[in-house]
Copies of this chain bind each other. A is one copy, B any other.
Amino acid sequence: MTATPWGTIAHLGTVELFTPELEGSVWFFTEILGLTETGRRDGSVLLRAYDNYETTSLVLTERDRPGMGPTSLRASSPEALDLIERAVGESGREASWIEGYAGHGRTLRTTDPDGHEIDVYHDTTWYDAPEGLRAALKNQPQAKPNRGVGVRRLDHVNYLAQDVLANAEFHQQVLGARATEQIQLDTGAIAARWMTYTHKSYDVVYTEDWTGSRGRLHHIAFATDGREDILRACDLCIDNGVFIETGPHKHAIQQTFFLYVYEPGGNRIELCNPLTRLVFAPDWRLVTWTEAERKKGQAWGLQTIESFHTHGTPLA
């Protein structure tokens, strides 16, 4: 079995979140983050970040408790989608074609070893901004929102998993991700791994789920234009009763400037900014952080908050 090459998956598409407080969650994503609601269908609300060339960044669906639905990844061509189908098959994982959603064409649905649903598609709908939402510049799909933070894009997904390595290898070998950083415990076990499909330093992350649950979410992240947007977000959060879990600060791992909050439905949301950092080396040397290094905390000395190791959705 040959590993799928990097570049087969083009980028992260949309993520679905479950929320027991649908209107509260919609308020948070539109009024605080500045996403745009584009429609509702079957109890789900479709939302988009302003620099998404496709139609949808986030699907919010009402459920009795928070958590995550499928993550969709766009294959770089119809052939790439076929290649993914074969690679999934060879890996022994089940997959099936489903009707595309959120503007996507036919979609291959599978799961990672931990049970998170992964959807891969190629055909997609390019966003055509309606009057009133058009940007002044023709290279921008939508006007910059005048409310909330105005996040640019869905940036990455951080999954909780029982077996980080097995899930990472699924992304690397079957989907063609490139690993950039990881945490290795003194036991040799991989406690977290960051992987990328692009020149961003990461698009997907797996973190060990200490509770032993399966299929849970650590957080999804939205990228802001700059660090000042994250500092402004802090003020918007405290003035609007949004719970800040930790930050703003800079991660040692990946150097991301971050803020973690809980949206009203209970899911952890990160606002992130990598400045202009990108990983260009095609033969990037996986950076391994030891248990001792992780204990030192974040880049500038902030201790990692305890709930970061325990809170996931759905609650365990």
Contacts and interface: CB of A to CB of B under 8 A. Distances in A.
A292 interface: no
Nearest to A250: B234
Contact of A275 (B126, B138, B225, B299): B225
A226 B231 CA distance: 11
Interface residues of A, number: 78
A10 interface: yes
Copies of this chain held together in the complex: 4
Q: Which of A234, A252, A282 has the most C-beta atoms of chain B within 10 angstroms of its own C-beta? A: A282
Contact of A137 (B7, B53, B146, B255): B255
A282 B10 contact: yes
A240 B143 contact: yes
A6 B6 CA distance: 12
A109 interface: no
Interface of A: 6-7, 10-11, 31-32, 51, 53, 74, 76-77, 126, 134-140, 143-144, 146-148, 150, 152-153, 181, 198-200, 223-229, 231-232, 234-240, 244-250, 252-255, 257, 273-278, 280-285, 287, 289, 293, 299-302
A167 B82 CA distance: 34
Contact of A144 (B137, B236, B244, B245): B236
A31 to B, nearest CB: 6
